Amino acid sequence: MRSWGNRAFWVVLLLVAALAVGGVIYGLLRHGVPARREAPEFLPQGQDLGLSEVRQTAMKEGRLQWELFARSAGFIQKENQAFMDEVRVDFHGKDGRIVHVSAARGMVDTRNNDVGLTGDVAVVDGTYTLTTESLRYESGKELILSETRSRLLGRGLDVAGDRFAYDLSGGRMDVRGHVEGKIGDEDPKRPR
């Protein structure tokens, strides 16, 4: 009798274990294990897409407004932003003028085509060069603005100020706030 009791115990135990394993398998198959979706290791935290050697353009009223080139770019879709490294932007004025801007880093708001640039920013328009640490481009007004100390150099011109604005549609440039400089016939880049 003892052997039957021992066998019955093991049969019941195996039956309970089989039912438990079957229940777990059924639960997993029915509800599934949520898949972990992680960004690939090469994408910085939070970015949805990463690209290298990027070219992007913005159109306004049927004409090219700006053309951007970058060594690399990352996009965050929920914030409608693209972040770039080693950036060059060519801004196109209504009069055909092209203003070349380069910077270490950039950001584009993909909703309105506004551009922000930081780090060793250089703005070149013909014979004039403006240097600053950061600037932004307001697409709706076609304005290039800087709220950081800027220096404008060109033929007969060496001017620095705390704020800078360049109206691409009108071709007008303003330097404001603690303005210092020299205006004359000499090229400030040449040694005297």
The confidence score (pLDDT) of residue 1 equals 46
Nearest to 49 by CA among 84, 15, 8: 84
Helix (H) or strand (E) holding 14: helix 2-31
Give the separation between CA 2 and CA 107, rounded to whole angstroms. 80
Give the separation between CA 131 and CA 121, rounded to whole angstroms. 6
The confidence score (pLDDT) of residue 39 equals 45
Nearest to 159 by CA among 185, 135, 188: 188
At residue 192 the predicted structure's pLDDT band, cuts being 50, 70 and 90, is very low
The confidence score (pLDDT) of residue 89 equals 95
Which range among 1-15, 44-58, 101-115 has the greatest average pLDDT?
Answer: 101-115
Contact between 132 and 143 under an 8 Å Cβ cutoff? The reply is no
The residues facing 145 across adjacent strands are 136, 165
The confidence score (pLDDT) of residue 90 equals 95
Cβ contacts of 148 within 8 Å, gap of 6 or more: 132, 133, 134, 135, 162
Statement: residue 116 has pLDDT above 90: yes
Statement: residue 186 has pLDDT above 50: yes
CA distances from 167 to 14, 99, 120 (A): 82, 11, 21
The confidence score (pLDDT) of residue 70 equals 92
Statement: residue 176 has pLDDT above 60: yes
What is the tens place of the pLDDT at every residue in 68-98? Answer: 999 988 887 788 888 889 999 999 988 888 9
The confidence score (pLDDT) of residue 82 equals 85
Nearest to 110 by CA among 159, 158, 49: 49
What is the tens place of the pLDDT at every residue in 9-61? Answer: 676 767 777 777 777 676 666 665 555 555 444 445 565 566 778 898 898 88
SS3 112: coil
Contact between 50 and 76 under an 8 Å Cβ cutoff? The reply is no
Give the separation between CA 157 and CA 190, rounded to whole angstroms. 12
Give me the mean pLDDT over the 119-147 stretch. 93
Tokens of 44: 């910085």
The confidence score (pLDDT) of residue 188 equals 54
Mean pLDDT, all residues of the chain? 82
At residue 4 the predicted structure's pLDDT band, cuts being 50, 70 and 90, is low
